[in-house]
Structure 1
Amino acid sequence: MAGAFSDVTIAVATFVGGHFLLSSLPVRMVLIQKLGENGFRLLYSVVAGATLFWSIASYNNAPFHGLWPPVPALVHLQMLLMLASAVLFATSITTRSPTAVGGERMLRDPKPPAGILTVTRHPMLWSFLLWAIGHMAVNGDVASLIFFGGIALLAAGGMAHIDYRRQSQTGADWGPVALATSAVPFLAAIQGRCRIDWAGIGLARLALGLAIYAALLLGHEWIAGVPLVRF
């Protein structure tokens, strides 16, 4: 059976490994010196896009080998995780963040982190992580564990790597952000290090998240071939 899933395994390993390799400080700094910041970002985008396309194609062509039967409760769990993922994604793309690409320029901003950053400083990666976990649970097959498991690993590892890189490259400037936020959602607020900025998150961002969620539900059959809403 292992041979049947070799293509998707190799593709996902290349996708995930390529991200971590190009993002590692030694490799990143050498490439930036040779290509410049914009050249490095272009190379990173091309490699990420090509390996993601390869991973998706390999996943779609992989045989189905179920590990557990469909469980209705997992379907409901997936719907909730998709909702949380959509809201996190919406807030991440509409909020300036010190953990985003180019976000190191924000580290000297005297204003404390606001909005969704008071929930987690990695909202986009959490949106991908929750999305991947939900799909692994509800699909319950080998190919999905490989594909979505790789994305989950990349998202979780990416949080730790970004924090390490920011601390290594910016030193003391990273301290206030690390102190006032947390990678784990709501942890900083629970520990009393910040207060959730619900006003900064705003109804408009929540509405955008709901719109993305509705679009995913309605368009899931077109995207993945599996209908989630029937009329």
Structure 2
Amino acid sequence: MTLLILAALFWIGVHVGLSGTALRGKAVAAVGEKRFMIGFSVTSVVAIFLLVLAWQNAETTFLWAAGPGLRWVLAALMLPAFVLFMASHKRNPTAVGAKGLGEEPRGIQRITRHPMLWSFALWAAIHIIGNGDSASLVFFGAFLVTALAGMPSIDAKLAARDPEAWARFSARTSIIPFAAIAAGRNRLALGEIGWMPPVVGLVIWAALLHFHRGIFGVPAILM
């Protein structure tokens, strides 16, 4: 368990402590954006490899049981996670750039500024609750912390690029899904999202629901 905790802290440190703080700017100033991104990518791969390896070999303690009814709920919640993930490839804040901040938020951006991070946060939280053991709490908890901390971190980076454009963009969007729509600062336009994210998300969700035992060794739903 100690190695798993250290691997989780290493993963969080790379993505929150380095990428999400002023250390990133200092590192980029020292080595350049391209070299930093190469180094960051390599370090991320090493970090996730160590995290998965530590999780697979960690001793674990049973903490709680997710009953059949709850597991059905958790399985159902994975569907919006997949849809958010697929929709994020069309419009997401990390690909907007300073120029894009001045554009009207469209598609999934009307619902949330961070669809991909929300998909990871949902995935991690669902597996923490569903597994109910200490090793899963640390492993998936590392991804949950990274996803949740990444949202304000990305917002801060975009705000620094163009404060005026960011003020307009953030006023029409929200971190919390549907918050801007509920507040009347935006509107729901499902047609802008298109048919592909929900359809592909549904196919992936159904496939993993069916093959979860074969791929990961445990069923997604206990009958």
Normalising by the smaller structure, the TM-score range is over 0.9
Superposition deviation, residue 20 in structure 1 = 1.4
Give the match for residue 7 of structure 2: 11
Alpha-carbon distance change, 80 to 215 in structure 1, aligned in 2, over 3 angstroms: same
Superposition deviation, residue 28 in structure 1 = 1.4
* More contact order relative to length (CA 8 Å, sep ≥ 6): 2
Q: Does 1:107 align with 2:110?
A: no
Which consecutive unaligned segments of at least 5 residues does structure 2 have?
none
Among 23, 32, 35, the residue aligned to 2:31: 35
Alpha-carbon distance change, 61 to 196 in structure 1, aligned in 2, over 3 angstroms: same
Q: Does 1:26 align with 2:18?
A: no
Superposition deviation, residue 204 in structure 1 = 2.0
Which consecutive unaligned segments of at least 5 residues does structure 1 have?
none
Taking the aligned partners of 2:35 and 2:100, their CA distance within structure 1 comes to 22
Q: Decide whether the 8 Å contact of 2:98 with 2:161 is kept in 1.
A: no
The TM-score with structure 2 as length reference comes to: 0.92
Q: Decide whether the 8 Å contact of 1:218 with 1:229 is kept in 2.
A: no
Alpha-carbon distance change, 43 to 222 in structure 1, aligned in 2, over 3 angstroms: farther
Q: CA RMSD in A?
A: 1.8
Give the match for residue 143 of structure 1: 135
Among 169, 192, 204, the residue aligned to 1:200: 192
Taking the aligned partners of 2:9 and 2:178, their CA distance within structure 1 comes to 31
Alpha-carbon distance change, 218 to 96 in structure 1, aligned in 2, over 3 angstroms: same
Q: Decide whether the 8 Å contact of 1:77 with 1:134 is kept in 2.
A: no
Taking the aligned partners of 1:206 and 1:24, their CA distance within structure 2 comes to 30
Residues 1-231 of structure 1 aligned to structure 2 (within 5 Å): 5-93=1-89, 95-97=90-92, 99-101=93-95, 103-108=97-102, 111-228=103-220
Taking the aligned partners of 1:183 and 1:101, their CA distance within structure 2 comes to 16
The TM-score with structure 1 as length reference comes to: 0.89
Worse-superposed segment, 120-129 or 77-86? 77-86
Cα distance per residue 1:59-89 (max 9 Å; x no partner): 1111231111241122112112211110000
Worse-superposed segment, 149-158 or 32-41? 32-41
- Work out the number of aligned pairs and report it: 222
Superposition deviation, residue 228 in structure 1 = 3.4
Superposition deviation, residue 199 in structure 1 = 0.6
Taking the aligned partners of 2:210 and 2:37, their CA distance within structure 1 comes to 33
Taking the aligned partners of 1:162 and 1:181, their CA distance within structure 2 comes to 14
Superposition deviation, residue 44 in structure 1 = 1.3
Q: Decide whether the 8 Å contact of 1:74 with 1:137 is kept in 2.
A: no
Taking the aligned partners of 2:163 and 2:191, their CA distance within structure 1 comes to 30
Q: Decide whether the 8 Å contact of 2:91 with 2:107 is kept in 1.
A: no
Taking the aligned partners of 1:228 and 1:139, their CA distance within structure 2 comes to 10
